[in-house]
Amino acid sequence: MKHELVIVLDFGGQYNQLIARRVRECNVYCEVKPYTMPLDEIKALNPKGIIFTGGPNSVYDEKSPHIAKEIFEMGIPILGICYGSQLMSYTLGGKVETAPVSEYGHTEVEVDTKDVIFDGVSDKTVCWMSHTDYISEVPEGFSITAHTPVCPVAAMAYPEKKLYATQFHPEVMHTAEGMKMLSNFVYKVCECKGDWQMASFVETTIKELKEKIGDGKVLCALSGGVDSSVAAVLLSKAIGKQLTCVFVDHGLLRKNEGDEVEAVFGPDGHYELNFVRVNAQKRYLEKLKGVEDPETKRKIIGEEFIRVFEEEAKKIGAVDFLVQGTIYPDVIESGLGKSAVIKSHHNVGGLPDVVDFKEIVEPLRMLFKDEVRKVGLELGIPEYLVFRQPFPGPGLGIRIIGEVTEEKIKIVQEADYIYREEIAKAGIDKGLGQYFAALTNMRSVGVMGDFRTYDYAIALRAVNTSDFMTADAAQLPWEVLAKVTNRIVNEVKGVNRVMYDCTGKPPATIEFE
């Protein structure tokens, strides 16, 4: 079934995918396309509406992205946001000027509630602004539908032509009634009916994967994390046994994790696919022997992962496609790539150079994490896998400060298991961004029974975060911390002290190494 479609034309704004996601939240399918897409191709897609994103440029700069005037004549409703609004104004003969100071952040906007975009919105509503240029004169036919004390045209409209624009960003959460505005555009201007749900994504993606792959062979590096698991299940539903999942157990997984992944994806599991578990614990321990430096540890673990994967891929023979569970935030992070290296992240991004294949398949590329989780539930993947907290590729290797040994792995696995168990028992697991136990390299004196001990200290960490770029230490209930501490020192041999990490990110990072 063909779904209604709204397209987002990307003019370089940082929220382009977020706009698409908000439209999908309105149950209308939405995809981001480059602003350079030719008009006849846009027409061929038969979109119900088009949204122009923001962007960092100024319309008067020749090098800035521009758009042919004809797009406004196609009879397709258009909503311009931020730069997109200025571009609409400029292209249609309005005036855009540069303000002496930028308007940035929460702003109270006075809106004309008779305008369809603001239907049902309060007449004074908080919106998120981020601009220096502004529309000083609207083009012929347009009327001003919102303003602020410093921004004469916070929104404009030409209802007869179905053209609308907002200087602020309705797509971000800081715009209190932004979802209402987008929904008004999608339903009342574009006249969509809302025929899209995650189930439709699953259905369409499986169909597309079938067509694309035909009878080709597909390889997937499965980590047991949410993204690669969801990608693997989608592929399995599409092509069954043409898919081989390679799961490298580096021995640095959480307690029971390897077996859990095997139970779901292995021969006795729920899915039709070929599953290869490589038990590479010994190999990793040998490579990590005597290594203390965090970056060196990360590099060794990452490289060894690639080597093991490569060996398995060779055994399988020539593969046509490599599956990656890349999701949208990964795309942004790798796109930016200009910031200083804090840690060299280990993920499957390093694989394509070493495995012989024709093409990469990334079925989740346009989704956000919570959308991936919805797809996972839709596919019937067990909830404990779908809601798994993030776990770094190098695993416990970066939660053990200093040299990694078999004994230390065991200690941190047991302590972490107890911690997770008590957090779940207390019913606070869903509210936390990430929580885990790490093993410090510190040993200290204690007393147990009548004996002196000289054992390790476990550090407990729990953070609240939405994007994992910044995080606050979570204020866990003292009773939970006391219970966990008690159990760890009593049940985990080699530990006589437990500490709680109160540091945020920055200055600390979430993981210890």
Using DSSP bridges, classify how beta strands 434-448 and 451-464 pair: parallel, antiparallel or unpaired: antiparallel
CB nearer ligand XMP, residue 224 or residue 392: 392
In our burial notation (b when 16+ CB lie closer than 10 A, e otherwise), range 184-213 reads: bbbbebbebeeebebebbbeebbeebeeeb
Q: Cβ 508 to ligand XMP, closest distance in Å?
A: 8
Q: Cβ 329 to ligand XMP, closest distance in Å?
A: 10
Three-class DSSP category at 154: coil
Q: Cβ 82 to ligand XMP, closest distance in Å?
A: 29
User: Whose CA is closest to 109, among 125, 94, 91?
Assistant: 125
Q: Cβ 390 to ligand XMP, closest distance in Å?
A: 4
CB nearer ligand XMP, residue 181 or residue 253: 253
Using DSSP bridges, classify how beta strands 155-158 and 143-147 pair: parallel, antiparallel or unpaired: antiparallel
Report d(CA 484, CA 490) in Å as an integer: 10
CB nearer ligand XMP, residue 346 or residue 497: 346
192 is catalytic: no
Q: For the segment 431-470, give every residue that binds ligand XMP (CB under 6 A).
A: 434, 468
Q: Cβ 103 to ligand XMP, closest distance in Å?
A: 32
Q: Cβ 323 to ligand XMP, closest distance in Å?
A: 16
Among 174, 212, 283, 505, contact with ligand XMP (rule: CB under 6 A): 505
CB nearer ligand XMP, residue 12 or residue 504: 504
* Residue among 26, 30, 82, 127 flagged as catalytic: 82
Residue 216 corresponds to which amino acid? G
Non-local (6+) Cβ contacts of 431 within 8 A are: 464
In the chain, DSSP finds a helix count (H) and a strand count (E) of 14, 18
Q: Pick the stretch among 161-169, 191-199, 339-347, 490-498 that binds ligand XMP (CB under 6 A).
A: 339-347
DSSP secondary structure string for all residues of 65-100: ----GGGGGSS--EEEETHHHHHHHHHTT-EEEEEE
CA atoms within 13 A on the CB side of 450: 0
CB nearer ligand XMP, residue 59 or residue 348: 348
Sheet holding 359-361, edge to edge: 274-279, 243-249, 218-221, 321-323, 359-361
Report d(CA 504, CA 508) in Å as an integer: 6
Non-local (6+) Cβ contacts of 283 within 8 A are: 304, 308
Letters for 355-394 (x = contact with ligand XMP by CB under 6 A, - = none) are: -----------------------------------x-xxx
CB nearer ligand XMP, residue 470 or residue 475: 470
* Residue among 131, 169, 250, 346 flagged as catalytic: 169
Residue 48 corresponds to which amino acid? K
Query: Does the footprint of ligand XMP cover residue 399 (CB under 6 A)?
Result: no
* Residue among 4, 103, 171, 371 flagged as catalytic: 171
82 is catalytic: yes
How many chain residues interact with ligand XMP (CB under 6 A)? Answer: 14
Report d(CA 159, CA 141) in Å as an integer: 9
Structure tokens at 261: 């992944």
Among 113, 197, 503, 509, contact with ligand XMP (rule: CB under 6 A): 509
Structure tokens at 465: 């975060």
Among 346, 408, 420, 487, contact with ligand XMP (rule: CB under 6 A): 346
CB nearer ligand XMP, residue 128 or residue 512: 512
Q: Cβ 225 to ligand XMP, closest distance in Å?
A: 7
Phi first, then psi: what are they for 265, rounded to 5°?
A: -105, -15
CB nearer ligand XMP, residue 293 or residue 407: 293
Using DSSP bridges, classify how beta strands 124-137 and 78-81 pair: parallel, antiparallel or unpaired: unpaired
Q: Cβ 150 to ligand XMP, closest distance in Å?
A: 37
Query: Does the footprint of ligand XMP cover residue 345 (CB under 6 A)?
Result: yes
Structure tokens at 393: 């590729």
Query: Does the footprint of ligand XMP cover residue 13 (CB under 6 A)?
Result: no
Q: Pick the stretch among 36-44, 83-91, 340-348, 365-373 that binds ligand XMP (CB under 6 A).
A: 340-348
Q: Cβ 346 to ligand XMP, closest distance in Å?
A: 4
Structure tokens at 159: 């209802």
Give the H or E element holding residue 51. strand 49-52
345 is catalytic: no
Among 174, 287, 343, 483, contact with ligand XMP (rule: CB under 6 A): 343
Query: Does the footprint of ligand XMP cover residue 299 (CB under 6 A)?
Result: no
Using DSSP bridges, classify how beta strands 495-500 and 451-464 pair: parallel, antiparallel or unpaired: parallel
DSSP secondary structure string for all residues of 156-179: EEEGGGTEEEESS-TTSTTSTTHH
CB nearer ligand XMP, residue 194 or residue 329: 329
* Number of neighbours of residue 479 by Cβ within 10 angstroms: 10
Alpha helix (H) residue ranges in 268-405: 281-288, 294-316, 328-336, 369-378, 383-386
Q: Pick the stretch among 2-10, 134-142, 151-159, 341-349 that binds ligand XMP (CB under 6 A).
A: 341-349
CB nearer ligand XMP, residue 44 or residue 341: 341
Catalytic residues: 82, 169, 171
- What residue ranges bind ligand XMP (CB under 6 A)? 343, 345-347, 390, 392-394, 434, 468, 505, 509-511
